[in-house]
A = this chain, B = another copy of it.
Amino acid sequence: MRDKMYSSELLQRAIEALASLPGIGQRTAYRLALHLLNQPPSYTEEIASALLNFRQKIHRCLHCHHISDEEVCAICRDPQRDSGTICVVESIRDVFSIESTGSYRGHYHVLGGVISPINDVGPEDLYIEDLIKRVEGQEVREVILALSATIEGDTTMQYLARLLRPHVERVSFISRGVAFGGELEYADEWTIAQAIRFRRPIEDFALTPRAEDEE
């Protein structure tokens, strides 16, 4: 590899660092490094400090474990939001996904994953104890379980439901069925079976998803 031989080690290390990010290959990393070189050093300095600041200063919310610039996140601090409803999700990514729909006005609880014996994740590895403390400590009318529709997600929801029921009036889980835009022909049998099982009265039918639907 003559190209490697004559290349600068500083460049090589920058390329390796960029290529260690998911979805960024060697070629893209090389292109990005040369882009940094074409810009004033202040540009690279700004990027580096934004990433460092983010990674080093970000908090996990004391209540819900969502990311936050302060000890308690903006959602938990918002007096407009309903603290009597807690939506349990696997990751902060899911919080952002649900928030982007604008259809939920309650609080969250980020578990940090799902119970998965194969991946060596047990209940003690997740923020489950914290969740139980929350529903014991404050008045919670409903806990919505919004975990993945996988075997691990199902197992975790069943486990949580058993723990939560003594403390919470209503434990629910997000509905399952044919996704928006999904053609029945291509849906798997399990999805179709669930969709039939959880059929709704025609009065609930809406041609396009409405933001108010879940409210």
Contact = CB atoms under 8 A, between A and B. Distances in A.
A11 B33 CA distance: 23
Contact of A31 (B22, B35, B44, B74): B22
Give the number of times this chain occurs in the complex, counting copies: 2
A-B pairs, top 9 by smallest CB distance, nearest first, are: A17-B50, A14-B54, A44-B55, A48-B48, A3-B100, A17-B47, A10-B54, A2-B102, A13-B50
Contact of A9 (B41, B69, B93, B96): B69
A51 B14 contact: yes
A99 interface: yes
Contacts of A69: 8-10
A45 B54 contact: no
A150 interface: no
A13 B53 contact: yes
Interface in A1-50: 2-3, 5-11, 13-14, 16-18, 20-23, 28, 30-37, 41, 43-50
Contacts of A171: none
Interface residues of A: mostly helix, strand, loop or mixed? Answer: helix
Interface of A: 2-3, 5-11, 13-14, 16-18, 20-23, 28, 30-37, 41, 43-58, 67-69, 73-75, 78, 92-93, 96, 99-100, 102
Contact of A58 (B6, B10, B17, B102): B10
A34 B93 contact: yes
Contacts of A100: 2-3
B36 A75 contact: no
A96 B5 CA distance: 11
